[in-house]
Structure 1
Amino acid sequence: MNKRGLALFICNSFIWGVPFWLTKYLLTEFSPSTIVFLRAGIAAAVLLPFTLHSGDFQKALRSWRWVLVFALAQMTIPWGLASIAQQHLDSAFTGLMMTAIPIIGLFYAFSSGEKKVLTRQGTAGLLIGLLGISALIGLDSLKSQINLLAVAMVLLSTCGYAYAPRVVNRKLKEVPSLGAVSLTVLITSLAWSIPGITTWPQHGVHIRIVIAALVLGVICTALAFWIFFELIKEVGPLLTTYLAFTNPLVAVLVGVIIAKEPITVGILVSFPLIVTGTYLALSARAKTAFV
């Protein structure tokens, strides 16, 4: 991985570790539908003036079919599922569940005939990460601390997250990043506009809620997705899915330190396994060609 790729990876790791907690916080005032609508709508309001002026939005429209596929896989469906699930799950737990994304991404790669996508060390890293996921779900479910339906919704969302980078790499690589992102958030905001508006709270909201929504829309969406597209173009889709290993580590720290969420047995056991798996998988991928 070159210096630019590493810098993009580190930035996205931190920025995308925060939305799990912000979503959980916003759920105290808003419905899941409203949160998705706000997140995408704020990002669209920020990006559209720039991309319309530059012509990037118009260029993205030429590939609207594949942008739509990306939107459904990366935002429209997963954000809804994850937001609904977080009504029943802690942000740290939800974040750690995202470590399933590289496993699913590897499955997509193999099913597409990409046989040499990992070294033995990288495969070992993924298996250790999978063991960490299993420990997280299994140990906490034994104590009836999690809602299994909510877990299933999060896992389903990871399938979309794992597929979306492949769409960018294969079909949207020549599309301007900001143009594609602005069209994607516009599609998502329109899709969730009716349920988002109809479930809007009847009372006023605290300024802290407003600030949280702005951070989620501007920094964690508009800025983060521009970085995300640039990262995919720099290092490829498979390595990009390893954000699912680093984002959750930030999510756990934010959940425990800021949100005062409990440290469960599942988190204690799975956390070191995920860290180890991340190191092995990333160091192995750094020595091989990217998909």
Structure 2
Amino acid sequence: MKPADWFAFVLLSALWGASFLFIRVAAPAFGPAFLMDVRVWLAGLSMLLFTTLTGKRISFRGRVKSLLLLGALNAGVPFTLIAAAELEIPASLTAMIIGTTPMLTAVAASLLGEEEMTFGKTVALLAGLAGVGVLVGWTPIPLTFDSLLAAGVAFLAACCYALGGIYVSRKFQGVPALTMAIGQQLGAGVILLPLALFRLPRAAPPAEAVWALLALTFFSTVLAYLCYFRLIRNAGPTTTLSVNFLIPVFSLVGGVLWLGETVGWGTWVGLALVSLSLMFVTKSEDGGRRKSGTEKRALLR
């Protein structure tokens, strides 16, 4: 990659890693559903404005139902689950659990007959599950019913991302990435709207939460997707997927420095196991996965 592509790669990792920190700050004030509905509407409309100003053309014709389902699986539902989880557990722990998404995607693809369950993917599955177990079992936070439930909710969000990736590879062959990104955000906005209106914030959110929401929208969503598109075009989908190695690291460092989160030895061991699972999945996919599906499945955040 060129130096500018390396910068985009690191920036994308940092932006998606920081999203967990912004959610941790904003979710208690806005509520999970309302926060994420505002996020996806602002992001989708901003990207739509960007395409108009730059003369790019997108079309949702014949894809409205598919984009609504994509918005639910790949944005609305997992976004809200992540925000709900972060009401109870640290941003860094949530990010590391979500880091199992590529491993879960490989497993789901194998179960659905999309790909073969190779030795590498089996190792990835075992390492990823062990990593989650270590992360949750040896976390510095007290192990209560609520924290365990929150960890399960975060894992469910990763499962949604995995199913969303499979759905993309099946239903969106040949669809421009920008069309999917905008359609996904707006579809998620429509899906979340009833729940968001039902659970409005009880009080005016503090300035800190508002700034976190804006940063989540315009930095970790709009700007992140611009970096993502550049990397897909210049570096390829497999390299772009490698940002998943750095996302938990940025979230962990940011959580410690910014939010004062604590980490223990279990955090580092769990992170290493989750990273090992991602390494095996990436290596396996690089050698055998269909290219069309690979590029689409990079669209995870």
Q: TM-score, normalised by structure 2?
A: 0.79
Cα RMSD after superposing both structures: 3.3
Distance 1:244 1:227 in 2: 14
- Give how far 1:200 is off: 3.0
Q: How many residues align?
A: 284
Distance in 2 of aligned mates of 1:232 and 1:126: 26
**One-letter amino acid matched to 1:89:** I
2:191 matched to 1:191? yes
| CA contact 1:51–1:182 (8 Å) conserved in 2 | no
Could you list the runs of 5+ residues in structure 2 that have no partner in the other structure?
291-301
Give how far 1:201 is off: 4.7
Q: Write out per-residue CA displacement over residues 136-189 of structure 1, whole angstroms, 9 at most, x where no aligned residue.
A: 122239952662221221111111101222232332232222222222212222
Per the TM alignment, residue 212 of structure 1 is displaced from its structure 2 partner at its CA by 2.0
SS of the counterpart of 1:17?
helix
Contact 1:51 1:179 in 2 (8 A): no
The worse-fitting range, judged by mean Cα deviation, of 132-141 and 157-166 is 132-141
Q: Residue type matched to 1:134 in 2?
A: G
Partners of 2:140 and 2:116 in 1: CA distance: 36
Matched, 1:127 2:126: yes
Q: Is the 8 A contact 2:26 2:35 kept in 1?
A: yes
Determine if contact 1:21/1:255 at 8 Å carries over to the other structure.
Answer: yes
Tell whether the 8 Å contact from 2:43 to 2:185 is kept in structure 1 after alignment.
yes
Shift of 1:63: 1.8
Q: Secondary structure at the match of 2:143?
A: coil
Task: Note the 1:139-218 alignment, pairs <5 A.
Answer: 139-140=138-139, 143-144=142-143, 147-197=147-197, 199-203=200-204, 205-206=206-207, 208-218=208-218
Alpha carbons 1:177, 1:230 under 8 Å: kept: no
1:243–1:65 CA distance, 2 compared to 1 (3 A): farther
Q: Secondary structure of 1:16's partner?
A: helix
* Identity within the alignment, %: 22
User: What residue number does 1:290 align with?
Assistant: 289
Which residues of structure 1 form unaligned runs of 5+?
A: none
Structure 2 counterpart SS, 1:140: coil
Map 1:84-103; keep pairs closer than 5 Å.
84-103=84-103
Higher mean C-alpha deviation, range 2-11 or range 274-283: 2-11
Q: Deviations over 1:76-103 (max 9, x none)?
A: 1111122112111110111111133123
Change (3 A) 1:175 1:56: farther
Q: Which amino acid aligns with 2:41?
A: G
Structure 1 residues 232 and 160, CA gap change in structure 2 (3 angstroms): farther
The answer to whether residue 267 in structure 2 is matched with residue 264 in structure 1 is: no
Aligned residues of 1:102 and 1:126 also touching (Cα < 8 A): no
Which residue of 2 is the match for residue 63 of structure 1? 63
For the structure 1 residues 226 and 66, does the alpha-carbon distance in structure 2 shift closer, same or farther, using more than 3 Å as the test?
farther
Which one-letter code corresponds to 1:235 in the other structure? P
Instruction: Return the alpha-carbon distance in structure 2 between the equivalents of residues 204 and 157 of structure 1.
Output: 25
Q: Report Cα offsets for 1:167-218 as digits up to 9, x if no partner.
A: 3233223222222222221222233334435513533631x43332222112
Question: CA contact under 8 A between 2:103 and 2:281: conserved in structure 1?
Answer: no
Q: Which amino acid aligns with 2:42?
A: I
Q: TM-score, normalised by structure 1?
A: 0.81
Provide the rounded CA distance (Å) in 1 between the counterparts of 2:115 and 2:39: 37
* In structure 1, C-alpha distance between the alignment counterparts of 2:242 and 2:161, rounded to whole Å: 11
Cα distance in 2, alignment partners of residues 164 and 230 from structure 1: 22
Compared with structure 1, are the counterparts of its residues 248 and 122 closer, same or farther at alpha carbon in structure 2 (3 Å cutoff)?
A: same
| Aligned residue in 2 for 1:16 | 16
